[in-house]
Amino acid sequence: MRFTELIPADLTIEQVRGMEGQRVRETYRRLSKETGVPWQARSYDRSRWGHSDPINRAISAANSCLYGLCHAAILSAGYSPALGFIHTGKQLSFVYDIADLYKTEVSLSVAFTATAHGPPHLERHVRLAMRDSFRETKLVERIIPDIKSLLNDESGDDEISIYDDDPARPGKLWGPEHEADGGRGTG
């Protein structure tokens, strides 16, 4: 999904990662040229946030928003955020894998555009622009279907579970509407 061209099946994961790195570096160069924002390299130190240049702070802020949205989608669909395929060894490896599908489309363009405008509160401006971009790109609606497609998960959301008739399954949570049955949640 990250590439428009067909990827040869005999490439190693390292070769695919190299192609992805090249694609992202080209996106940085293109957005720098389009927006007039100078680009040197992706460089930041979380412990010295204020020492980073504005574009690197904007990219970090944008990516943070994207990671949050992808993390929520992954959890809501019942997948593990730690089981990555491209990224590995982190609790959020799958979050990074999925976020990378949208990073050049959403995060990087928002970060470069925001930095070009030079707002006084750059990170806040980026967060608001990401919210708007999520809405405009309908990203929330795309993430779970994209994950299912990537994993060849053919299970339908409308499929009835074999466990629906299990009498030992958890019942409804108590609420005022269940007061007539003593709060047992059986009604």
Write out pLDDT tens, residues 10-19: 888 888 888 8
Domain at 13-38+50-158, CATH from 3.90.1280.20, 1.20.120.920, 3.40.50.1220, 3.40.50.1000? 1.20.120.920
**Region at 152 (left for phi over 0; alpha for psi -120 to 50; beta for the rest):** left
Average pLDDT of the segment spanning 157-161: 49
Domain locations in the chain?
A: 13-38+50-158
Single pTM value for the model: 0.77
Question: Is the pLDDT score of 173 beyond 80?
Answer: no
For residues 138 and 119, give the distance between their C-alpha atoms in angstroms, rounded to a whole number: 25
State how far the Cα of 175 lies from the Cα of 126, in Å rounded to an integer: 40
- Residues of the chain with pLDDT > 70, as a percent, come to 80
Q: What does the alpha-carbon distance between residue 172 and residue 183 come to, in Å, rounded to a whole number?
A: 10
Could you give the angle at the alpha carbon of 155 between the alpha carbons of 152 and 158, nearest 5°?
145
Whole-number mean pLDDT of the chain? Answer: 85
Which tens digits make up the pLDDT trace of 47-85?
887 778 999 999 999 999 999 999 999 999 999 999 988
